[in-house]
Amino acid sequence: MFVWEKGVSRREFLQSCLGALGAAGFSSLVFVRCTTTPTGKKAFILISEEEETKLGESAFTEIMAQEKPSKNKRQADLLRKVGQRIAAVSHRPDHRWQFELIASEQVNAFALPGGKVAFYEGIMPFCQNEAGIACVMGHEVGHVAARHGAQRISQQLAVQGALTAVDLSVTRNSKNRNVILGALGVGATLGVLLPYSREHEYEADKLGLMYMAKAGYDPEEAVLFWERFAELSKGQPKVPEFLSTHPMSENRVREMRKNLPEAKRLYDAAPVKYGKGETG
């Protein structure tokens, strides 16, 4: 019934199972099962896509109410164009995708279940061009398509035994608000930070590479983007937010290079090719 995923420690996994089983005994609302994600992986997921989407949408509404939209129409349009192209070739073209550019120096981007994606203006100079945007976008859309948010919410809720009192909302008086927002990876904005596991990160990297290639952006640019991002960040007074949750490592680059031939085949087969696209 349960599949132990590499990204979860054995202790965490056992706690998840026990928590979930205990909760299932008390609540008919909980349907304990292992699910196959849209990207074809078996995962421990306790919430439906509908619930996950609702959570993503309400967290997004809350965040956007606190942020100002960018006045840079050209960049915001570029972001939407790239986002739509990537979403269209992803495993979930059917989500109600939305792509917003936030007026903030923060060097960050995030995506929430259901397809709500935001970039902060500060990350745009690092992206440099459409292919750079496509690289970050592909990665973020990959997290959504692979249901990483739902997996983390499930783990966190189960570990805390919180499922005995199922409260799947992110409203201010919600008991599980911080658990859910943290699990959705929007901590940088709301004060709870929980980076995705390395396995989720690598899966999002791989999905992102394939999506950008299928959408017609040169996948070689992804490796260049990540190397450039790590290099440019060295001159910054503090580590950019996105890099602190997405640390570069030799292994990470090696994994990307390993996936490059497959991505190149998809790029060769893409009906339209944009290369690097427009400069951002």
Amino acid at 246: H
Cβ 25 to Zn ion shortest distance, Å: 35
Of residues 121 and 203, the one with the C-beta less far from Zn ion: 203
Residues 189-208 contacting Zn ion, CB under 5 A: 204
Residues 131-190 contacting Zn ion, CB under 5 A: none
Cβ 149 to Zn ion shortest distance, Å: 11
Of residues 163 and 212, the one with the C-beta less far from Zn ion: 212
Question: Helix crossing, 10-26 with 148-159: angle to 10°?
Answer: 80
Q: Is residue 167 classed as helix, strand or coil in its secondary structure?
A: coil
Q: Tokens standing for 181?
A: 């927002």
Q: Is the separation of the CB atoms in 61 and 100 below 8 Å?
A: no
Cβ 188 to Zn ion shortest distance, Å: 12
First and final CA of the chain: distance in angstroms? 47
Of residues 32 and 204, the one with the C-beta less far from Zn ion: 204
Residue 119 phi/psi, 5° resolution?
A: -115, 145
Binding mask 204-243 for Zn ion (x = CB under 5 A): x---------------------------------------
Cβ 33 to Zn ion shortest distance, Å: 26
Of residues 148 and 214, the one with the C-beta less far from Zn ion: 148
Amino acid at 73: K
Q: For residues 8 and 196, what is the distance between their CA atoms, to the nearest angstrom?
A: 11
